[in-house]
Amino acid sequence: MRLIKFFTLLICFSVFACTGSKNTDDRIIIEETQEDSRITTEEAIEVHKEETQRELLSSADYDTTLWTDINRIQPDILLDLRYATTNNFLEKQLYECARCFLRPETAKALQKVHLELRTKGYGLLVWDCYRPQSVQRKMWAVMPNPNYVANPERGSMHSRGVAVDATIVDEAGIPLNMGTDFDYFGRAAHYDNRDLPEEVLQNRDLLRATMEKYGLMGIRTEWWHFSMRDLGYPLDEMVWGC
């Protein structure tokens, strides 16, 4: 419908330009019309996409100036939000429902990572995004080891909405071999541990290089964790709706 509206407007504009400007040089009109007609399918599709995006965001049930639900801007990023299930190291469901929220800049960067991976036949699967401070406190109570869980006093980049835990999947949505599962607490998950099969190292390097290209920086102890540290967002308590 948007596309039709766009072309209708385009036609109306051309008709108006022809009938309403008799004193104007015909040559200029023809050139303008030709110029306009070059706003062809590709640009019209682009306009349509932007409008759809705006419509989606305007109907959002959260503050879009502070947050982005990643699947609203990139629906094909796969989610396996482990803390929305009991399949996590706490064996407790911590999120009421599986939605991935990030600060808008971080979400945009992650979208770019995903789109670049897509050109290579891959995509992203996400395990965790923004994590409310209340959840961080629960994690710390179970695992007070700063190598793996940030002390809530200092806060986690996840609670600032600028961190994401993710891996690469193939076209069928199957995760690549990264050597360990998400939240594996041990040396096998360390990025600087190069004592791993070549395939694992290559997969980890592809993930890290693509993430870091768009400003999502990795850490030493968890190959899946990336964040944009300098955005200056505060620790947050926001809890999303279902």
Counting other chains too, the contacts that 189-197 makes at CB distance below 8 Å and 24 or more residues apart are 189/221, 189/222, 189/223, 189/224, 190/220, 190/221, 190/223, 191/218, 191/219, 191/220, 191/221, 191/222, 191/223, 192/220
Cα dihedral 86→173→198→182 (10° resolution) = -10
Q: How many residues of this chain bind Zn ion (CB under 5 A)?
A: 2
Q: Stretches 49-57, 147-155, 160-168, 208-216: which one binds Zn ion (CB under 5 A)? A: 160-168
CB of 57 or CB of 188, closer to Zn ion: 188
With beta carbons less than 8 A apart as the criterion, state whether 216 and 109 touch: yes
Nearest residue relative to Zn ion (C-beta): 225
* Residue 184 DSSP label: -
CB of 146 or CB of 197, closer to Zn ion: 146
- As beta bridge partners, residue 129 has none
Q: How far is the CB of 204 from Zn ion (least distance, A)?
A: 15
Q: How far is the CB of 156 from Zn ion (least distance, A)?
A: 7
Q: Stretches 75-83, 161-169, 178-186, 192-200: which one binds Zn ion (CB under 5 A)? A: 161-169
Which residue among 69, 165, 183, 236 contacts Zn ion (CB under 5 A)? 165
With beta carbons less than 8 A apart as the criterion, state whether 127 and 231 touch: no
CB of 123 or CB of 218, closer to Zn ion: 218
CB of 167 or CB of 203, closer to Zn ion: 167
Exposed e or buried b per residue across 197-225, where buried means at least 16 C-beta atoms within 10 angstroms of its C-beta: eeebbebbeebbebbeebbbebbebbbbb
CB of 24 or CB of 87, closer to Zn ion: 87
- Could you say which residues in the range 206-235 bind Zn ion, by CB under 5 A? 225
CB of 36 or CB of 105, closer to Zn ion: 105
Does position 183 bind Zn ion by CB under 5 A? no
Q: How far is the CB of 183 from Zn ion (least distance, A)?
A: 9
Interacting residues with Zn ion (CB under 5 A): 165, 225
